[in-house]
Structure 1
Amino acid sequence: MTSKKSKTKPIGQILIEKKLIMQEQLDKALEVQVQEGGLLGQILVKLGFISQESLDVNLYEQADSAQRLENALVEMGFLNKEQVNKIFEFQKKEGGLISKIIVQLGFLSEEDLVSAMVTQYGFPYLKLEDYQIDPEIVKLVPEKVARKHYLVPIDKIGNILTVAMADPLNATAQADIRKITGLNVETFISTFSDIDQALENYYSKK
C-alpha cells in the first residue's frame, strides 16, 4: 500500500514555533539523537531544554494536529473515511483504545499498525518476547494500571522509567505512571500481543 506524506509537524518544529526552545537547542538535541538514538522529545528533557510536563502537552497537540491517530492513518493511506466512521461507531458502543479497535476490526494488522506509528511519530519499536524484564521493575507499576493502559515497565535508569506501550500516544497513561512512580517516562511501542503476553508473564505469575 502506498503511503502518503503526513501533515503532522515534527515536535521540534512545534516547540520552536511556540518559543519553548531555541534552534540551537534543537540542533544540539538532533546531534545527540544521531549519535545515541532515542526520542527527540526525551533528549530535549534530558538536556534540560524543556520540562517533561511541557513536552507531554505538546506531544498531545502534535498527535492532535494529525487529527488523531485514525486520521493520520488516512493521510498515510492505511485507512479510508468509511473505515474511520466504523471505528468511531465501534468506540462509541464498546469503548476502548482507537489503536486496539483498528486491529480488532481487521483494518490493519498489529505489525502494520506499529510500523505506521513508528513512521508517523518516531516511536522506537521493542519486540518484548526477546526482552528479559527485572521483576523489581515490574513492581513499580500496579497490575491494574498496566492492564488498563496496555503497558509494561521494562527498565529504570536514574529517574527515567522506560515503558513498552501498545499505544504510546496515550498521554493519560504516561501521566498516571509519572504520578504513581514519581519518575519521568520514556516510551517504546510494542504490539498488543506482545504486551498481553508480557502482562501474563510478569503479573499473573507474581
Structure 2
Amino acid sequence: MTQDRIREALLRRAGLTDEQITTVISTERETGNSLDQVLIQKNIMTEGKVMDFFGEFLGLEVRPSLDGVSVPSDFINNVPVQFARTHGLIALDQRGHITKVATHRPLDVQPMDDLAAMMGTEVEAVLCPKSEIAGLINRAYRHKADGVDEALVDIEEQDILGLADQVEESEDLLSVANKAPIIKLVNML
C-alpha cells in the first residue's frame, strides 16, 4: 500500500469526504506539513478532534490541560528553549529511563528522536493542545531565566568595573572568566 493510500484510508476512518481527502493530501505534499497540521490549518478538524483521533489511532494519551504540571529539571537543563518552542515539545514527567513529553504534532517523529538523544532517555508522546504546551514552556523556562537574573545580580554586586580593572592589570582573561558569578551565569545559559 502506498503512503497516499494509507493516508486516504486513515482520513476515511476520520470521516472525511473524497474532496477533503484530496485537499489534505495535496496540501500536505505542497507545504511539507504533516497530516495532523494540514487537518487543522484547513479547518477540516479542530485541534481537539485531531488530538482525539490520533490519540485513539496511535494509542497515545491525550491531555487537554497541563495545569499543575511541573517540568523535570533534567529537561530544562538539557533541552534549549528554542528547540522546545520550535518543535512544541515539553517534558511532563520523567521516571527511570522514560520521559513523557507533550506534543501537538503526533506525526513529527524526528524532533522526538532528537529529544531522546538530548535527554538520554526513551520518550513517550502525550498529545496536548499547542497553546497548553506553549504556556508550559514559558512557565518552565521563566524559572531558568529567573536564575540568570540572580546570577547577573551577583555579578553586579561584585562590581563589573572592578572585574574590568583586573583585566586591564594584565590578569589572564580566563582566570577572570572562571570567577564564581560568571561561571554561574554561563551555566545558566
TM-score, normalised to structure 2, is 0.62
**What's the counterpart of residue 163 of structure 2?**
none
1:133 Cα deviation after fit: 1.8
Q: Deviations 1:13-52 (Å, cap 9, x if unpaired)?
A: xxxxxxxxxxxxxxxxxxxxxxxxxxxxxxxxxxxxxxxx
**What's the counterpart of residue 185 of structure 1?**
123
Q: Quick check: 2:71–2:91 contact (8 Å CA) kept in 1? A: no
Q: Quick check: 1:129–1:194 contact (8 Å CA) kept in 2? A: yes
1:137 Cα deviation after fit: 4.1
Q: Look at both structures and tell me which one has the larger radius of gyration over its CA atoms.
A: 2
Match runs of 1:14-163 below 5 Å: 67-68=6-7, 71-77=9-15, 79-134=16-71, 136-139=73-76, 140-163=78-101
Mapped to 2, the partners of 1:85 and 1:204 lie a distance apart of: 43
**What's the counterpart of residue 170 of structure 1?**
108
Mapped to 1, the partners of 2:88 and 2:46 lie a distance apart of: 17
Q: Quick check: 1:138–1:154 contact (8 Å CA) kept in 2? A: no
Mapped to 1, the partners of 2:82 and 2:126 lie a distance apart of: 20
**What's the counterpart of residue 44 of structure 1?**
none
Give the letter for the 1:112 counterpart. Answer: K
**Structure with the larger helix share:** 2
Q: Which runs of 4+ in 1 moved over 6 A?
A: none
Give the letter for the 2:90 counterpart. Answer: V
**What's the counterpart of residue 18 of structure 1?**
none
Cα 1:148/1:96, change in 2 over 3 Å: farther
Give the letter for the 1:124 counterpart. Answer: E
Mapped to 2, the partners of 1:103 and 1:204 lie a distance apart of: 29
SS of residue matched to 2:99: strand
Q: Quick check: 2:92–2:101 contact (8 Å CA) kept in 1? A: yes
Give the letter for the 1:131 counterpart. Answer: G
**What's the counterpart of residue 22 of structure 1?**
none
Cα 1:195/1:100, change in 2 over 3 Å: farther
1:107 Cα deviation after fit: 0.5
1:116 Cα deviation after fit: 0.9
1:66 Cα deviation after fit: 8.0
Cα RMSD (Å) = 2.6
Q: Quick check: 1:73–1:116 contact (8 Å CA) kept in 2? A: no
Gaps of 5+ in 2: 146-189
Percent identical residues: 23
1:124 Cα deviation after fit: 0.8
SS of residue matched to 1:112: helix
TM-score, normalised to structure 1, is 0.58
